[in-house]
């Protein structure tokens, strides 16, 4: 019996050492140590042994059991460790591989231009205000001295939503709103950037949706020379000392007198091209002294208060500053175009 147990022991240890999976180890465990395993079946013959032999064989059997159990456990540990090593090897990260670049966005060129203009005027003491894009007929037209059926309404072909509601055609309603809010009681110095809409046919310099920035300065003793000086500072800061500007007499129902300011075309440097429609000049803003009627409709006494207002198109300013030859580029969302200006 002793020999039987020793040979089972030797055979078991050899098989365990050669085993290559946890499943196989479990099968060996059952085969040698289980209820129906080889050791148990040998021990069934214990009854035939003498009283003296029994504890000796029992002791050997226990030692064989312990040894097999221990060998199975260490083999299992070894297999587990091996499996973990293999897994780590398969999942290892090569830190020397080049990283994938992270795509970053940036502000739209128009947003940048608007911020630049805002900062310029904030530096001159202006506050920034906003107004609704869906506007009433009153603020878009009537409060600006454009009563119903006034022929000058045609200057800005309008998208109407209802007979009284429209998509604002300019940012001037915000000057009317601001003056009405202050009710003639205090000076105003504000600019208002925003999107405006017109039923214009799209071409290189016209879009049916574009941006404007409105400016308004109302106080006692505001004069035309203040307007000229302000626009001059603006133009020089924005385009550089070498760019030329010109003021042309013009007409707006809400200003008297009115002017339009042009700046020399940067694309062709005055020679004529499709951007400036071969004139060498590009119109960038309209301006003038606030009409007495507009002041009094908002509660300001035109005998005491005077003011100037201007409205410019940042789209055209951006075109000039960066040599963009088609306004539609701003609205086509072509990343190749937009990316060029991320660091501009
Ligand atoms: C006005 O809209 C007046 N509200 C400006 C103003 C304000 C005058 C205060 C006096 C006092 P005008 O229609 O000219 O004016 O437009 C102003 C600017 O918007 C133009 O100089 C031009 O730069 C820009 N603009 C006009 N129409 C378009 C268009 N379809 N696409 C792109 N820019 C345009």
Residue by residue, DSSP assigns 61-90 as: HHHHHHHHHHHHHHHHHHHHHHHHHHHHHH
pTM confidence score: 0.72
Pick from 7-16, 188-197, 272-281: least confident: 272-281
- Asked whether 262 lines ligand 1 (CB < 6 A), one says no
- Provide the mean pLDDT of the chain: 90
Probe residue for ligand 1, chosen from 313, 314, 331 as the CB with the greatest number of ligand atoms within 8 Å = 313
The tally of CA atoms less than 13 A away on the side-chain side of residue 247 is 18
Arithmetic mean of pLDDT, 60-88 = 89
Arithmetic mean of pLDDT, 5-32 = 89
Give the number of the atom of ligand 1 that is nearest the alpha carbon of residue 214: 7
Percent of the chain predicted with pLDDT > 70:
99
| Ligand 1 center–CA 211 separation, angstroms | 9
Q: What single string gives the DSSP state of each residue in 285-333? A: EEEEEEPHHHHHHTT--TTTEEEEEEEE-HHHHHHHHHT---GGGGGS-
| Ligand 1 center–CA 287 separation, angstroms | 9
Closest residue by Cα to atom 32, ligand 1, is: 206
For the chain, domains (ranges, CATH) are: 2-90 (no CATH), 111-341 (3.30.930.10)
Give the number of the atom of ligand 1 that is nearest the alpha carbon of residue 317: 23
| Ligand 1 center–CA 343 separation, angstroms | 28
Q: Which of 207, 297, 293, 284 minimizes the C-alpha distance to 250?
A: 284
Give the number of the atom of ligand 1 that is nearest the alpha carbon of residue 261: 21
Which tokens hold the place of 184?
């003639």
Alpha carbons 310 and 212: distance in angstroms, whole number: 10
Closest residue by Cα to atom 25, ligand 1, is: 313
**For residue 283, what are the β-bridge partners?**
262
| Ligand 1 center–CA 171 separation, angstroms | 9
Probe residue for ligand 1, chosen from 252, 253, 330 as the CB with the greatest number of ligand atoms within 8 Å = 252
| Ligand 1 center–CA 85 separation, angstroms | 72
CB-neighbour burial class of residue 35 (10 A; exposed 0-12, middle 13-18, buried 19+):
exposed
Give the number of the atom of ligand 1 that is nearest the alpha carbon of residue 208: 30
Alpha carbons 68 and 64: distance in angstroms, whole number: 6
Q: Do the Cβ atoms of 110 and 330 come closer than 8 Å?
A: yes
| Ligand 1 center–CA 14 separation, angstroms | 95
Handedness of CA 308, 314, 316, 322 (dihedral sign): positive
The tally of CA atoms less than 13 A away on the side-chain side of residue 221 is 0
Residue 344 pLDDT greater than 70, yes or no: no
Arithmetic mean of pLDDT, 271-280 = 82
Kind plus residue range of the DSSP H or E element containing 284:
strand 281-290
Q: How confident is the model at residue 181 (pLDDT cuts 50, 70, 90)?
A: very high
**CA 55 remoteness from chain centre:** 84
Residue length of the chain: 344
What does the radius of gyration of the chain's CA atoms come to, in whole angstroms?
A: 44
Give the per-residue pLDDT at 103.
82
Give the per-residue pLDDT at 253.
95
ω before 257 within 30° of 0 (cis)?
yes
Arithmetic mean of pLDDT, 12-17 = 90
| Ligand 1 center–CA 193 separation, angstroms | 12
Percent of the chain predicted with pLDDT > 90:
53
Q: Tally Cβ neighbours within 10 Å of residue 116.
A: 15
Q: Which of 18-32, 69-83, 154-168, 206-220 has the highest mean pLDDT?
A: 206-220
- Asked whether 153 lines ligand 1 (CB < 6 A), one says no
Q: Do the Cβ atoms of 25 and 75 come closer than 8 Å?
A: yes
| Ligand 1 center–CA 312 separation, angstroms | 6
Alpha carbons 184 and 302: distance in angstroms, whole number: 10
Arithmetic mean of pLDDT, 172-197 = 96
Closest residue by Cα to atom 13, ligand 1, is: 156
């Amino acid at each position: 019996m002793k020999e039987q147990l020793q040979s089972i022991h030797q055979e078991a240890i050899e098989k365990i050492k050669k085993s290559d999976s946890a499943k196989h180890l479990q099968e060996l465990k059952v085969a040698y140590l289980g209820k129906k395993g080889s050791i148990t079946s040998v021990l069934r013959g214990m009854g035939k042994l003498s009283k003296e032999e029994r504890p000796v064989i029992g002791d050997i059997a226990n030692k064989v059991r312990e040894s097999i159990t221990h060998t199975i456990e260490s083999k299992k540990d070894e297999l587990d460790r091996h499996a973990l090593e293999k897994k780590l090897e398969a999942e290892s990260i090569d830190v020397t591989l080049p990283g994938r670049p992270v795509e970053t966005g940036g502000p739209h060129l128009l947003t940048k231009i608007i911020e630049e203009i805002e900062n310029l005027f904030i530096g001159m003491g202006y506050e920034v205000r906003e107004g609704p894009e869906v506007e009433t007929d009153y603020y878009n037209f009537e409060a600006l001295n454009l009563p119903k059926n006034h022929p000058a309404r045609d200057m800005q072909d309008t998208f109407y939503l209802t007979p009284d509601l429209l998509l604002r055609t300019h940012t001037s309603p915000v000057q009317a709103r601001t003056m009405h809010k202050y009710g003639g009681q205090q000076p105003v110095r504000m600019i208002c950037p925003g999107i405006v809409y017109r039923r214009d046919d799209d071409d290189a310099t016209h879009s049916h949706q574009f941006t404007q920035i409105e400016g308004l300065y109302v106080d006692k003793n505001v004069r035309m020379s203040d307007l000229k000086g302000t626009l001059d500072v603006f133009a020089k800061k924005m385009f550089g000392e070498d760019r030329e500007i010109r003021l042309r007499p013009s007409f707006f129902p809400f200003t008297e007198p009115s002017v339009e300011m042009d700046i020399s075309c940067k694309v062709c440097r005055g020679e004529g091209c499709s951007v400036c429609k071969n004139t060498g000049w590009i119109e960038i803003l309209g301006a003038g002294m606030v009409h007495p009627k507009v002041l009094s409709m908002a509660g300001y006494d035109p005998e005491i208060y005077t003011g100037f207002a201007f409205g410019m198109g940042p789209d055209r300013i951006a075109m000039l500053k960066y040599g963009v030859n088609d306004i539609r580029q701003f609205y086509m969302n072509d990343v190749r175009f937009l990316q060029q200006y991320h660091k501009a």
